[in-house]
Amino acid sequence: MVLSKKRLMTSLVFLLFFVWMVSFGFFEGYANQEGVRQLGNYLVVNLVLASMLVVLFPTKIKLSFPGVRIYVLIMLWLILIHVYQQDYFTSVKKLSNILLTQVLMIIMANYAWKINLFKLMELFIYYIAIVMVLVIYTHLTKIGPIGIGTHLEEFRLGGLFTFGQAAAVAGIGLLLSAHQLLFNPAAKKSVYIALSLFFTYCLIACDLRTGIGAVAIAISVQYLYYLTSQNKSIFPFLIMMGVAYAGYKLYISLNESGTLVSSDLAYRQLIWSYSIPGIAKRPIVGYGTVPAFFTNNPKTLAFNAVLADPHSSYLSLMLQSGVVTLILLILFVARVVRFNMASKSFHTKAFVSIVVYWAIIGSTGGNMFSLDYDITSVFFMFSILAFCCHSSHIAANRKAILNEGMIKAYV
């Protein structure tokens, strides 16, 4: 079948975008721990890619989606506070990274809104599957064997990324696959069941317990909306919750290293106890970058070198850009949730599960809300804009169309 010029251009646009997303791993994953990411080069790449998309594949770019005013306010606030950071040069580079990354998010969201939502999800799921195959291949060839349930870092699936980043990517793939199985009548069930099993294996191999719990809860939200849309009893939902809980307890009991959830949580609480006073010292503007706080803190350096990461995306954002930035981001996401919940379509309501997923998985690690060129941060913002704010959602709620002024769906 010969692709039309429009479809070919759209495919090329997303191919460029996907290559850009995954290239992060080639520079910061376990397979290249000695490599140093050159931020200046990435800023140039971001600028060049954004220019290529606009010039070579022109489309009408609209800054119109739920919570757009709060989103713009976040960007303006970041510009303001980065002027007052301690290390001005580093802060400006960080700000440029954030702004250029978010420009790409908006451009790609506009392209995404013109694609049928189920087709867009299918494209993204296949992309994630390819990425996870690359992750497994890189891990096996560059790092070593993959261990299941060891909770030892060298055996946890990382490959191109860290195990936490790999788990976050696999988790969103599983979540979208479940959505296709539940709400897309035209979905190829056997394909998505196979993909769901593959992503589940990847999650278990990554051994990120928060990620496993986040996916389980988010899919439960989807399933509950599915049962409601079919006017079915929630009894199957309760059974599923019981099975999920039993499976999780079994998974914990098989952990060979003896690392318990309680001790893991205690470890994180100790890390958080060092981060929170740091946030209190600079609550408005933050430190510009997370390492700027940890590398100058003798307590954290004496405790453990791992403390270059506060083990919470919420704390990480507050250390980077202050408390106000986190509050504004929460308000933006809450506005998106309200938009989805206002719909009469349970299919649209079920996209709240994406927010649930990121809210939980970001609680115990990562830099998922940093808004810059971090693989999990890119996946977080793109999934919110492309799927939760997709233009096709407005067809189910005419009032929302008038209030939001979103572009019409191209299906």
Asked whether residue 411 is assigned to any structural domain, the reply reads no
Comparing C-alpha atoms, which of 385, 372, 382, 272 is closest to residue 321?
372
- The residue whose two tokens read 């949580």 is 265
Domain for residue 127, yes or no? yes
Helix, strand and coil content of the chain, in percent to the nearest 5, comes to 70, 0, 30
Dihedral angle computed from the Cα positions of residues 316, 320, 325 and 329, in that order, rounded to the nearest 10 degrees = -40
Domain count, the chain: 1
pLDDT (tens digit per residue) in 304-362:
544 567 888 999 899 888 999 999 999 999 999 999 999 888 889 999 999 999 999 99
279 part of a folded domain: yes
pLDDT at 179 exceeding the cut of 60: yes
In this predicted model, which residue has the larger pLDDT, 66 or 250?
Answer: 66
Domain membership of residue 208 (yes or no) is: yes
Residue 373 lies in a domain: yes
Is residue 211, in this structure, part of any structural domain at all? yes
Highest average pLDDT, of 100-109, 167-176, 305-314, 364-373, comes from 167-176
Local confidence band at 152 (pLDDT 50, 70, 90 cut-offs) = low
Instruction: Please check whether residue 361 is in contact with residue 214, taking contact to mean a CB–CB distance below 8 angstroms.
Output: yes
The answer, yes or no, to whether residue 52 has pLDDT greater than 60, is: yes
Quote the CA–CA distance of 299 and 270 in Å, as a whole number: 11
Say what percent of the chain tops pLDDT 70: 72
What confidence score (pLDDT) does residue 392 get? 83
What's the pTM value of the predicted model, to 2 decimals? 0.85
- Structural domain span for residue 152: 5-404
Mean model confidence pLDDT for the chain: 78
Q: Decide if 25 contacts 133 (C-beta within 8 A).
A: no
| pLDDT at 230 (0 to 100) | 82
Dihedral in degrees, nearest 10, Cα atoms 116, 117, 123, 125: -160
Q: How does pLDDT run across 186-231, given as a tens digit for each residue?
A: 999 999 999 999 999 999 898 888 898 899 999 999 988 988 888 8
Percent of the chain having pLDDT more than 90? 28
Task: Establish if 128 belongs to a structural domain.
Answer: yes
On whether residue 409 sits in a domain, the answer given is no
Structure token pair of residue 269 = 């609480």
Placement of tokens 């096709």 in the chain: 392
Cβ density class 357-374: b for 16+ within 10 Å, e for less: bbbbbbbbbbbbbbbbbb
